[in-house]
């Protein structure tokens, strides 16, 4: 089941407490859903350390696979990239021993972590692989569990299909009298109805889930459903009930020491206070004056983000930092409001950047697994050849040498991977212990390219085809960017970002960005013929000042920020498919070298009214 997180009150303010279904629908789109795939206790760092210790002492058998799968589950909320690593290790062991049920368990935990990372195509592939095995052996409970998670995947874009899988799961769970499973499915069905603003059905399903949880004293599930019921009461302006349920959820989570639940409950209570303060139509009164109520909201929001930071739950921290900024602004503390908004922006970028660094985590864990396997081999040799010390020492020495050689090679791989992830100049500075890295970039040009209609295309196409197509497209973009001296900054889904003049200054940054944009536009036409589909990209460009730097302490990422970056992004999002949309500032930098056509005089978010232009070609 998924607990609802209520956030971003600045966006909500306009939509709250109107009297039409249309306005309720608009309000729903700014409610954020955080993945919580099953009712389970919150794993602490000591729990995880204990599981790791158990796994290290076990023989490579079914018990070891079960422990590693539990480790994968322990990580899915706060570090799903690490959860994937353990899931793939469980799959490797199960395949080696040809244990099909173990493989199904591994596929399942891999899918759960992919869901937490919002990588639904990969989650679907692994869920179907697990389902095939469980159906083969008539494991009804596991089949019901897979149906439930298939519902979670389809809930992102096909509510009808999601409800169909949830119903299959519910029927099976009821057949085998699995109360916990029934509660999960009712809760997930409630989330689907909540997302479509069918609050009556959502409330009915949350209450059914709550009833099941109370039957078997599942306090974790009780807290989640009470929290979700509080959200229904909030959007329906039943503030008295919303406060009562929110406080009850906090009380249960505090008794359970459920830190993940507390991060959500504290944050939602803070936002609830802000809802009430901004509702001019309600007769409900908070027990404090406006300023005291705002300070109370800030108190709960700060507790939420502090817990989220400790858990590594960047998405929760990001969401409630925005609300903290809004609350401080309402109090007139503009300095504090700006500080929290910067943290919101920083965490937002960190959430996007985390996926880019998964490859490094895989490499490090692959090395750890190799060393563990070698140690197991050494121990087996000691038991089997107790009376032959010379052979044992020779074998141990050989294995040690192999391990050292392997570690050396892996270190070289890690260094090469670092150079692939970061610009060469930045990677060298990091290797020289320079951190943090923060540079002022007085003159840069920033380019964004985003595929038109990508979301719809993904729902209609084969996942492997989509991945292969994106890989081909971005590989072509990489070659163009590198050839023209630009630096690729990142990709977010189907959006590609590059910059000229970062991290190293570039005198002709605007011209280089213009040439790159034109070549990218031409390359897309060639790719259309290859794939036989009508794909197109919007491209946006701007030039000016920016800030560049490296985020993180262990997993580094280079990024740039500033008004120029934001404006370039706005140029892309307000542009036209197959066109290069740019600012007047960019046009003035190149008007004697390139041909431009006049665009619209339009409202640009955060900038006001702007005259925009379309870059056509260079002047020969």
* Number of residues assigned to the chain: 620
Would the pLDDT of 330 be above 60? yes
Residue 14: band (very low, low, confident or very high) from pLDDT cuts 50, 70, 90: very low
Would the pLDDT of 150 be above 80? yes
For residue 496, what are the β-bridge partners? 449, 491
Least confident of 8-12, 44-48, 166-170, 272-276: 8-12
Q: Which two tokens stand for residue 298?
A: 């800030």
Phi, psi of 582 (to 5 degrees): -140, 170
Phi, psi of 232 (to 5 degrees): -60, -45
* pLDDT for residue 402: 67
Q: Which two tokens stand for residue 147?
A: 């149906």
Would the pLDDT of 602 be above 80? yes
Q: Taking all residues of the chain, what is their mean pLDDT, rounded to a whole number?
A: 81
* pLDDT for residue 18: 33
The answer to whether 12 and 275 are in contact (CB under 8 A) is yes
Least confident of 162-166, 279-283, 570-574: 279-283
Read out DSSP for 221-259?
A: HHHHHHHHHHHHHHHTT-HHHHHHHHHHHHHHHHHHT-H
* pLDDT for residue 183: 93
Residue 408: band (very low, low, confident or very high) from pLDDT cuts 50, 70, 90: low
Residue whose token pair is 């919303």: 242
Least confident of 121-135, 265-279, 313-327, 602-616: 313-327
Q: Which of 13, 15, 14, 11 is nearest to 25 (CA)?
A: 15
Helix (H) or strand (E) holding 595: strand 594-604
Rounded Cα gap, residues 21 and 321, in angstroms: 29
Q: Which of 148, 64, 122, 1 is nearest to 72 (CA)?
A: 64
The answer to whether 37 and 149 are in contact (CB under 8 A) is yes
Phi, psi of 597 (to 5 degrees): -120, 145
Would the pLDDT of 77 be above 80? no
Interior angle at CA 564, CA 619 and CA 597, nearest 5: 30
* pLDDT for residue 58: 83
* pLDDT for residue 611: 93
C-alpha distance from residue 565 to each of 57, 318, 355, 497 (Å): 51, 19, 21, 10
Verdict on whether the full-model pTM lies above 0.75:
no
Would the pLDDT of 250 be above 80? yes
Q: Which two tokens stand for residue 435?
A: 């951190």
* Helical ranges in 155-235 per DSSP H: 159-175, 179-195, 199-215, 219-235
* pLDDT for residue 33: 35
Q: Which two tokens stand for residue 433?
A: 């212990």
Helix (H) or strand (E) holding 563: helix 563-573
Rounded Cα gap, residues 162 and 194, in angstroms: 13
Q: Peptide bond preceding 44: is omega within 30 degrees of 0, i.e. cis?
A: no
Rounded Cα gap, residues 7 and 300, in angstroms: 13
Residue 400: band (very low, low, confident or very high) from pLDDT cuts 50, 70, 90: low
Residue-wise pLDDT for 427-469, tens only, equals: 777 777 677 777 889 899 999 999 887 777 777 777 777 787 8
For residue 446, what are the β-bridge partners? 499, 542
Which residues 6+ apart lie within 8 Å of 126 measured at CB? 107, 108, 110, 111, 114
Would the pLDDT of 530 be above 80? no
**Residue 467: strand, helix, or coil:** helix
Least confident of 202-211, 457-466, 597-606: 457-466
Would the pLDDT of 230 be above 60? yes
Residue-wise pLDDT for 460-506, tens only, equals: 777 777 787 888 888 899 999 999 999 998 888 788 999 999 888 88
Rounded Cα gap, residues 299 and 267, in angstroms: 9
Residue whose token pair is 């602004």: 329
Higher pLDDT, 392 or 558: 558
Helix (H) or strand (E) holding 443: strand 438-451
Q: Distance between the two ends of the chain, CA-based, in angstroms?
A: 61
Residue whose token pair is 């031409």: 522
Residue-wise pLDDT for 300-311, tens only, equals: 999 999 998 888
Residue 555: band (very low, low, confident or very high) from pLDDT cuts 50, 70, 90: low
Which residues 6+ apart lie within 8 Å of 241 measured at CB? 229, 230, 233
Per-residue burial over 323-356, b = 16 or more CB atoms within 10 Å of its CB, e = otherwise: bbbbbbbbbebeebbeebbebbbbbbbbbbbbbe
Residue-wise pLDDT for 278-321, tens only, equals: 888 888 988 889 899 999 999 999 999 999 888 877 778 888 89
SS3 of the chain: helix, strand, coil, percent, to 5: 65, 15, 20
Residue-wise pLDDT for 253-263, tens only, equals: 999 998 888 99
* pLDDT for residue 20: 32
Phi, psi of 492 (to 5 degrees): -125, 100
Mean pLDDT, range 22-47, rounded to an integer: 45
Read out DSSP for 535-561?
A: --EEEEEEEEEEEEEEE-SSS-EEEEE
The answer to whether 187 and 2 are in contact (CB under 8 A) is yes
Q: Which of 119, 116, 114 is nearest to 33 (CA)?
A: 116
* pLDDT for residue 287: 85
Residue 11: band (very low, low, confident or very high) from pLDDT cuts 50, 70, 90: very low
């Amino acid at each position: 089941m998924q607990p609802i997180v209520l956030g971003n009150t600045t966006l909500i303010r306009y939509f709250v407490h109107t009297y039409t279904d249309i306005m309720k629908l608009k309000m729903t789109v700014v409610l954020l859903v955080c993945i919580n795939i099953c009712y389970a206790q919150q794993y602490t760092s000591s729990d995880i350390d204990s599981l790791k210790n158990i796994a290290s002492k076990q023989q490579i058998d079914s018990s070891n696979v079960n422990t590693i799968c539990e480790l994968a589950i322990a990580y899915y909320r706060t570090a799903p990239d690490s959860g994937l690593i353990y899931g793939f290790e469980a799959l490797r062991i199960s395949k080696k021993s040809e244990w099909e049920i173990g493989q199904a368990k591994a596929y399942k935990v891999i899918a759960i972590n992919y869901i937490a990372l919002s990588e639904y195509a990969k989650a679907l592939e692994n869920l179907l692989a697990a389902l095939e095995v469980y159906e083969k052996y008539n494991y009804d409970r596991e089949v019901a569990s897979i149906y439930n998670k298939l519902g979670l995947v389809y809930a992102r874009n096909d509510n009808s299909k999601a409800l169909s899988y949830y119903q299959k799961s519910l029927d099976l769970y009821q057949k085998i009298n699995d109360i916990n499973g029934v509660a999960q499915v009712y809760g997930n069905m409630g989330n689907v109805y909540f997302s479509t603003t069918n609050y009556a059905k959502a409330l009915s399903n949350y209450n059914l889930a709550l009833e099941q949880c109370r039957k078997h004293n599942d306090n974790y599930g009780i807290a989640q459903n009470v929290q979700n019921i509080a959200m229904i009461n909030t959007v329906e302006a039943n503030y008295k009930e919303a406060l009562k349920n929110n406080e009850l959820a906090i009380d249960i989570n505090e008794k359970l020491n459920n830190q993940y639940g507390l991060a959500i409950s504290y944050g939602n209570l803070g936002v609830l206070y802000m809802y009430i303060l901004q509702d001019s139509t309600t007769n409900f009164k908070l027990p404090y004056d406006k300023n005291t109520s705002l300070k109370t909201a800030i108190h709960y929001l700060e507790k939420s983000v502090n817990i989220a930071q400790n858990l590594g739950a960047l998405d929760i921290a990001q969401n409630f930092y925005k609300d903290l900024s809004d609350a401080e602004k309402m109090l007139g503390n503009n300095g504090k409001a700006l500080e929290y908004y910067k943290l919101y922006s920083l965490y937002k970028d960190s959430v996007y950047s985390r996926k880019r660094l998964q490859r490094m985590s895989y490499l490090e864990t692959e090395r750890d697994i190799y060393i563990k396997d070698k140690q197991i081999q050494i121990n087996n040799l000691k038991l089997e050849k107790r009376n032959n010390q010379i052979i044992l020492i020779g074998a141990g020495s050989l294995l040690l040498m192999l391990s050292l050689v392997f570690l050396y090679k892996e270190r070289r791989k890690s260094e090469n991977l670092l150079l692939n992830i970061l610009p060469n100049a930045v990677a060298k500075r990091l290797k020289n212990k320079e951190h943090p890295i923060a540079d002022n970039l007085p003159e840069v040009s920033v380019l964004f390219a985003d595929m038109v209609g990508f979301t719809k295309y993904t729902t209609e196409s084969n996942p492997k085809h989509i991945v292969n197509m994106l890989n081909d497209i971005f590989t072509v973009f990489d070659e163009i960017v590198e050839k023209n001296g630009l630096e690729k900054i990142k990709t977010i889904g189907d959006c590609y970002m590059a910059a000229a003049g970062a991290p190293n200054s570039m005198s002709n940054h605007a011209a280089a960005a213009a040439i790159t944009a034109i070549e990218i536009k031409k390359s897309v036409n060639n790719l259309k013929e290859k794939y036989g589909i009508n794909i197109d990209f919007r491209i946006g460009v701007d030039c000016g000042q920016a800030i560049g730097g490296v985020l993180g302490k262990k997993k580094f990422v280079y990024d740039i920020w500033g008004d120029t970056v934001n404006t370039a992004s706005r140029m892309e999002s307000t542009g036209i498919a197959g066109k290069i949309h740019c600012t007047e500032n960019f046009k003035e930098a190149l008007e004697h070298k390139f041909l431009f056509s006049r665009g619209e005089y339009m409202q640009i978010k955060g900038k006001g009214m702007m005259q925009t232009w379309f870059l056509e070609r260079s002047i020969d």
